Copies of this chain bind each other. A is one copy, B any other.
């Protein structure tokens, strides 16, 4: 009964967005966005595991943990507000306070998120002017959501949003989201930020649990370059405007919501992996036949982060030895001489190795399969029924170019 619909962060009832060109770093484009709910929301969040946490991460973590309630989010691109000390944290408070005044909400109900260069301080006058400009422009149209999705981009080449609907307690519930990130995993510019809104009524505990569980299979399974950002943030806001009876136990409605949330998160996560810095292809790695989930995850992540495998995908080269090698150094136990490996894309599927040894496959056919914009490697380790899927992208000249001289 779940269906995908148009829209993003404004798709759910009672959510508004606005965006503006505050001139923080970029010229001639929008670089700030705001999300607002007409009523207070239950707020769940997951944040970077990096020991070096940006100021806005610390701000949001405190609010999610202490109150679990929020009504607005202020986002800027260009400067990450990371490694900025007490001054930087003070700017989070100042940002929240400015938005709180404009929106007539408590300052502790304003979440903040930043992405961009590490180590620079935010130009607060520009930020405050941006907030003042956005507040009167807040709108619940799809267009305002899309404009916000564009405003938070950094090295992203495409805006990223998605929305789905399902039924809960006889009511239509919408979950929509937007994100930015040319990978989960870019410390300077390309922090992953994701904002998901829903009009579902659900308890704070279950909202956080649904998010915490789902990120394991979605955002935590993408990688562009192995560098975990200081700013990674996923925020999930639920304002209850759908009018369903509040979900307080893990019933059918909860499972329906988890399914919808998974579709939103997986779609956004794949959009980030497929728009990885400089990349030409979305690369998917499926481990099947694993003994347990942890083993499957370890193997899939090791392959998706292997520079040599990523470079081979860029070259459309069926260099399966690199995949087996990356599985071998992952730390997970398996028998290399039991592994079957396939390459797959929209134009076909080809078995490359069987029981650890290469088949007499056609290199030409393999290259044809690997020349598609979305390619998959499937490894069957034949130990059980568990599986995992990871998403990444190829390693290209442009990745190096983008990152060799990012700051200038």
Question: A226 to B324, Cβ gap below 8 A?
Answer: no
Which residue on B lies nearest to A314, using beta carbons?
B404
- Chain B contacts of A397 at CB under 8 A? 397, 400-401
- Chain B contacts of A229 at CB under 8 A? 325
Q: Is A23 an interface residue (CB 8 A)?
A: no
Interface membership of chain A positions 368-408, coded 1 if the CB is closer than 8 angstroms to chain B and 0 otherwise? 00000000000000000000000000011101110111111
Give Cα A405 to B397, complex, Å. 13
Q: Is A356 an interface residue (CB 8 A)?
A: yes
Question: B408 to A317, Cβ gap below 8 A?
Answer: yes
Give Cα A379 to B397, complex, Å. 30
Question: A404 to B315, Cβ gap below 8 A?
Answer: yes
A128 CB → nearest B CB, Å: 23
Question: A317 to B406, Cβ gap below 8 A?
Answer: yes
Give Cα A23 to B147, complex, Å. 61
Once A85-B356, A358-B119 are accepted as A-B contacts, the answer to whether A51 and B334 lie under 8 Å apart by CB is yes
- Taking residues whose C-beta sits less than 8 angstroms from the other chain, chain A's interface range is 35 or more
- Chain B contacts of A395 at CB under 8 A? 400, 403-404
Question: A403 to B312, Cβ gap below 8 A?
Answer: yes
A69 CB → nearest B CB, Å: 29
- Chain B contacts of A334 at CB under 8 A? 51
Question: A83 to B319, Cβ gap below 8 A?
Answer: no
Cβ-neighbour of A188 out of B53, B84, B186, B322 (below 8 A): B322
- Chain B contacts of A345 at CB under 8 A? none
Give Cα A83 to B52, complex, Å. 41
Q: Is A244 an interface residue (CB 8 A)?
A: no
Give Cα A200 to B404, complex, Å. 47
Question: A406 to B357, Cβ gap below 8 A?
Answer: no
Question: B404 to A321, Cβ gap below 8 A?
Answer: no
Give Cα A337 to B51, complex, Å. 11
Give Cα A18 to B121, complex, Å. 62
List A residues 182-202 near B (Cβ within 8 Å): 186-188
Give Cα A333 to B50, complex, Å. 10
- Chain B contacts of A46 at CB under 8 A? none
Cβ-neighbour of A52 out of B227, B315, B327 (below 8 A): B327
Which residue on B lies nearest to A401, using beta carbons?
B397
Cβ-neighbour of A325 out of B84, B118, B399 (below 8 A): B118
Question: B325 to A400, Cβ gap below 8 A?
Answer: no
Give Cα A397 to B327, complex, Å. 26
Top 7 closest A-B pairs, CB basis?
A118-B321, A52-B328, A315-B404, A311-B403, A187-B325, A228-B329, A315-B405
- Some 19 contacts from A to B, beta carbons below 8 A apart, are A49-B329, A51-B328, A52-B325, A83-B321, A83-B324, A83-B356, A83-B357, A118-B325, A119-B357, A188-B308, A188-B321, A226-B226, A227-B308, A228-B328, A311-B403, A311-B404, A312-B406, A315-B404, A317-B408
